[in-house]
Chains A and B, each alone.
Chain A
């Protein structure tokens, strides 16, 4: 058995202020680290949750998003008649040909314009997205200038609440309902009648064609049929993949940036921990000599001081993580860099992020503690005792 952990913990507790300050520095770094990863995870989860495995999104080849895509009516008609498309309860094929347009609307709090996605939806389009539920009001009647707004749009933009009107495409649109699409990208969209949208925006074609597969496992055949058809210049993705791809670049960027910032910050925290641990070793030189005289080995001394540094890191990590976890209560809205539209989502703490944050804190403790612990272990017993 080595030096008891209670000895290690009590020494940390005895130097309350130093311990708190040092652990606080590490907590700050862990907070930044965890928060940034939670941001990326939240974004990813929101966009990934938007899609359904059985749904297929068809867009023009090479366009990353529906906004950039264009599908003319002839091509849309070919896609519509593909075999393998599911039929709804009313016997109609579950296909929705949708125009998707980016417009500007003033934010409710600042009045500053920001981008919002407008989607023209067909009755089948609602059936394809059962996760979008009307929570207030009703669906727009076909053939009218009525729209419904996703929850975060209704809350965040002027005129987007039920009973109000929003102006775009030179027309006023009455908001007749609010829908909740869970934590998905649809929550940040305005939906109206597809034909009305085409007319208002003077569009000749659609942006995307979305359909449900009768058998989700036969996606590859359907994709091959679309992508090998010489009349079509389109590509097909599973809806889940389509939204995951949108989040990938941004969440990767956030993750890399956040990790880089955290690592830079951590140098400061590690130096702080090192100073603290050197001071701890220096102030306990006599105790080190005594422990060695009693028969504790160099390895036991090394272990005790490393344990002290790791414990310091653990305290910092736990505090930082606890602070970061409170961020989950906050829903934020940011630019989806792929579509340049507003996207609402929350910080999401995953078990992976929690483990990563604690590992990061322990790594900081280890980096700060190793040299001081090695110094403690290397001391000659008589020199250490004499210094007491």
Chain B
């Protein structure tokens, strides 16, 4: 694969929901390229299809038609099991509400995706500690989610997203549940992941402050791209 080929290449992508005899088009004929190392913010009114597009790129939803090539693989054609393995290897997720496992401490939460790799226990420990150090939570390694603030929980979630060294990090309104200050910290982290570690980031956001950090802004209106 040549260096100038985009990491994500979306072609003629459509997604419709069928409810009864009603057909709801959510994404209409989307074409989009995301370069390796890019930081893209996806904006648009509520219900315009931002999350749906992000989910399709992240391989947790299937398109109605079209192609989604990520690093050369058309993920729309993968089987359920192959897609699960692909996600484990290539995607890091950051959710609006952090989505940590409440019964696991910070360490175990960050370690979760590594359980799907062939890493030894020691290698896992090293990776988890590195990731938690990167988000500045070394001293909270044994804390449970309910013992952490929202901002800290989101930082644990970011550590979980980067611990597998994924190709792509997807974030759906990562600051949506945070106040200005802690939201700023989280954005700073994502920025560092992009600049220092070269991670490609695709982020859905309502927050103009968040969008500012991105290299590229994309607007969705009623399922159609308008950038």
Asked if B97 and A388 sit within 8 Å, CB to CB, the answer is yes
Give A269-308 as 1s and 0s: 1 = Cβ < 8 Å from B's Cβ atoms: 0000000000000000011011111111111000000000
- Number of residue pairs A-B, CB distance < 8 angstroms: 74
What is the size category of the interface that chain B forms with chain A? 20 to 34
Does A141 count as interface, using CB distance less than 8 angstroms? no
Among the interface residues B61, B93, B99, which one has the most CB atoms of the partner chain A within 10 A? B99
A382: chain B residues within 8 A (beta carbon) = 55, 60-61
Does A1 count as interface, using CB distance less than 8 angstroms? yes
Interface residues in A185-216 (C-beta closer than 8 Å to B): none
Does B212 count as interface, using CB distance less than 8 angstroms? no
Binds B, one of A5-13, A142-150, A236-244, A328-336: A5-13
Asked if B93 and A294 sit within 8 Å, CB to CB, the answer is yes
Tell me which of B55, B88, B99, B108 contacts A295 (CB under 8 A): B88
Asked if B112 and A14 sit within 8 Å, CB to CB, the answer is no
Does B16 count as interface, using CB distance less than 8 angstroms? no
Asked if A296 and B104 sit within 8 Å, CB to CB, the answer is no
Does B133 count as interface, using CB distance less than 8 angstroms? no
Asked if B81 and A7 sit within 8 Å, CB to CB, the answer is no
Closest B-chain residue to A6, C-beta based? B108
Does A381 count as interface, using CB distance less than 8 angstroms? yes
**A6, B115: Cα distance in complex, Å:** 13
Does B102 count as interface, using CB distance less than 8 angstroms? yes
Closest A-chain residue to B160, C-beta based? A294
Interface residues in B76-121 (C-beta closer than 8 Å to A): 80-81, 84-89, 91, 93, 95, 97, 99, 101-104, 108, 112-113, 115-116
Give A221-240 as 1s and 0s: 1 = Cβ < 8 Å from B's Cβ atoms: 00000000000000000000
Query: Given A1-B115, A4-B115, A296-B116, A290–B99 Cβ distance below 8 Å?
Result: yes
A296: chain B residues within 8 A (beta carbon) = 84, 88, 116
Asked if B58 and A293 sit within 8 Å, CB to CB, the answer is yes
B94 to chain A, nearest CB (A): 11
A209 to chain B, nearest CB (A): 71
**A382, B97: Cα distance in complex, Å:** 14
A11: chain B residues within 8 A (beta carbon) = 103
B60: chain A residues within 8 A (beta carbon) = 292-293, 381-382, 385
Interface residues in A364-388 (C-beta closer than 8 Å to B): 380-382, 385, 388
**A332, B108: Cα distance in complex, Å:** 52
Among the interface residues A4, A289, A295, A388, which one has the most CB atoms of the partner chain B within 10 A? A295
Asked if B116 and A1 sit within 8 Å, CB to CB, the answer is yes
Asked if A10 and B103 sit within 8 Å, CB to CB, the answer is yes
Asked if B88 and A294 sit within 8 Å, CB to CB, the answer is yes
**A4, B124: Cα distance in complex, Å:** 14
Closest A-chain residue to B82, C-beta based? A297
Asked if B116 and A292 sit within 8 Å, CB to CB, the answer is no
Query: Given A293-B58, A382-B55, A7–B84 Cβ distance below 8 Å?
Result: no
B95: chain A residues within 8 A (beta carbon) = 290, 385
**A287, B99: Cα distance in complex, Å:** 7
Asked if A295 and B89 sit within 8 Å, CB to CB, the answer is yes
Tell me which of A4, A10, A13, A295 contacts B113 (CB under 8 A): A295
Closest B-chain residue to A286, C-beta based? B99
Closest A-chain residue to B58, C-beta based? A293
Give me 10 A-to-B residue pairs in the complex whose CB atoms sit less than 8 angstroms apart, sorted by A's number.
A293-B58, A294-B113, A295-B84, A295-B116, A297-B81, A297-B84, A298-B80, A298-B84, A382-B60, A388-B99
The 9 closest A-B pairs by CB, nearest first: A295-B88, A10-B103, A381-B60, A290-B99, A295-B87, A297-B84, A1-B115, A294-B113, A382-B61
In addition to A290-B95, A294-B160, 11 A-B residue pairs with Cβ atoms within 8 Å of each other are A1-B116, A2-B115, A3-B115, A10-B103, A291-B112, A292-B84, A294-B88, A295-B88, A295-B113, A297-B80, A299-B81
A residues near B, CB below 8 A?
A: 1-4, 6-7, 10-11, 13-14, 286-287, 289-299, 380-382, 385, 388
